[in-house]
């Protein structure tokens, strides 16, 4: 049997993105009629990846689908950005419209303060 090295022995691994990570709730997305792509990915994650790529910033933000964030707002998708999850209290936002998506994009990229969603 092969033993794996202790995590401390492997050292830190550099992130493949440049700023932060955005978590998109898979459960919330699954409750919406158009929340998932045919291959089971969230449409919101796809939108963010396409939006980032369209302006040449595909590595500027890591967009990750996550299990339930514990909020499940009605007809909305819960999202959280790493830097606000570390805050006290943690901040989780939600997205429903195209305007919400754009506001979350600008907030995540640091182009404007966080939207009141």
Q: Cis omega before residue 89 (within 30°)?
A: yes
Whether 117 maps to a domain, the answer reads no
CB 50 within 8 A of CB 98: no
Q: Report how many domains make up the chain.
A: 1
Whether 71 maps to a domain, the answer reads yes
Residue 9: pLDDT band (50, 70, 90) is low
Does residue 33 lie within any of the structural domains?
yes
Residue numbers of the domain that contains 93: 17-108
Give the pLDDT score at 1: 59
Instruction: Kindly state whether residue 9 falls inside one of the protein's structural domains.
Output: no
**What CATH number does residue 36 fall under?**
3.40.30
Identify the pLDDT of residue 117: 42
Q: Give domain status of residue 24, yes or no.
A: yes
pLDDT tens-digit map of 17-73: 567 889 999 988 988 888 899 988 999 999 999 999 998 888 888 899 998 888 778
pLDDT at 5 over 80: no
Residue 93 lies in a domain: yes
The sign of the dihedral angle between the CA atoms of 51, 44, 21, 9 is: negative
């Amino acid at each position: 049997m092969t033993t794996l090295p202790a995590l401390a022995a492997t050292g830190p691994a550099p992130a493949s993105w440049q700023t932060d990570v955005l978590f998109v709730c898979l459960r919330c997305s699954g409750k919406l009629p158009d929340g998932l792509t045919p291959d089971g990915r969230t449409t919101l994650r796809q939108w963010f990846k396409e939006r980032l790529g369209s302006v040449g910033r595909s590595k500027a933000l890591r967009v990750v689908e996550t299990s339930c964030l514990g909020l499940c707002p009605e007809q909305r998708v819960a999202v959280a950005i790493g830097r606000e999850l570390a805050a006290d209290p943690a901040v989780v936002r939600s997205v429903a419209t195209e305007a919400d998506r754009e506001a979350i994009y600008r907030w995540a990229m640091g182009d404007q303060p966080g939207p009141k969603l």
